[in-house]
A and B are shown apart, each in its own frame.
Chain A
């Protein structure tokens, strides 16, 4: 089945720093989503981005479907950005990567 790899697995930032999270996938997909999982376990939708570039405030994402990768940019990070970030792709179901654990220190 399709494989999803996220990097880096862990990331520690100082408040105000910028970061880039990467998601590689092994086959063509219908859909790609980025999620932020909060400490209570809820998956918050960040982007639905099968291709192209989107921005939402301090966050933006780019998916290059032909090269099978997606990037999530976080600018001017805040402590509330801490948590786990997941990339998930769909052939017909969501296949999740292992996630990136982000810790933002004040």
Chain B
């Protein structure tokens, strides 16, 4: 069974631009969660989607948004990029809600904002 895939793997953007990252979960998994990893803050939860609905949201500004499609694929968008948004963005999928089921991570998208 194929694992979680994320595209693109690397991205360089300029301050003020916006970016869209994509995540395809493991086949049959309906929950997708997004995490941000930075050297200073570690791994932090952004949001979780289940059956196209956002179920939980972390403590991030409204510039960070996401959505999930009917095939469970998910996208996250960051608008008006800031230097501090440079990070590794990780997507995780699970059968159901992340509170109970094991989560599996994709390889990540490394975003650099200049």
Question: Is B102 in contact with A42, judged by CB distance below 8 angstroms?
Answer: no
Question: Is B107 in contact with A90, judged by CB distance below 8 angstroms?
Answer: no
Smallest CB gap from B59: residue in A = A1
Question: Is A48 in contact with B105, judged by CB distance below 8 angstroms?
Answer: no
Distance of A91 Cα from B48 Cα, bound (Å):
13
Contacts of A40 in B (CB 8 A): 107
> Which residues 29-67 of A sit at the B interface, judged by CB distance below 8 A?
30-31, 33, 35, 40-43, 45, 48
Contacts of B105 in A (CB 8 A): 35, 42-43, 45
Distance of A22 Cα from B56 Cα, bound (Å):
28
Question: Is A45 in contact with B104, judged by CB distance below 8 angstroms?
Answer: yes
Question: Is B98 in contact with A94, judged by CB distance below 8 angstroms?
Answer: yes
- Which residue of B35, B43, B44, B108 has the most chain A CB atoms within 10 A of its CB atom? B43
Size of interface on A: residues with Cβ below 8 Å to B: 21
Q: Interface residue tally of chain B, by bracket?
A: 20 to 34
- Besides A43-B90, A93-B45, A94-B98, 18 other A-B contacts (C-beta < 8 A): A33-B102, A35-B105, A41-B37, A41-B88, A41-B107, A41-B108, A42-B105, A45-B102, A45-B105, A91-B99, A92-B97, A93-B33, A93-B99, A94-B92, A95-B45, A96-B42, A96-B44, A98-B42
Distance of A95 Cα from B42 Cα, bound (Å):
10
The binding surface of chain B is classed by DSSP as strand
> Which residues 51-106 of A sit at the B interface, judged by CB distance below 8 A?
86, 88, 90-96, 98-99
Smallest CB gap from B92: residue in A = A94
Contacts of B110 in A (CB 8 A): 41
Contacts of A92 in B (CB 8 A): 56, 97-99
Question: Is B107 in contact with A42, judged by CB distance below 8 angstroms?
Answer: yes
Distance of A48 Cα from B105 Cα, bound (Å):
13
Distance of A45 Cα from B106 Cα, bound (Å):
11
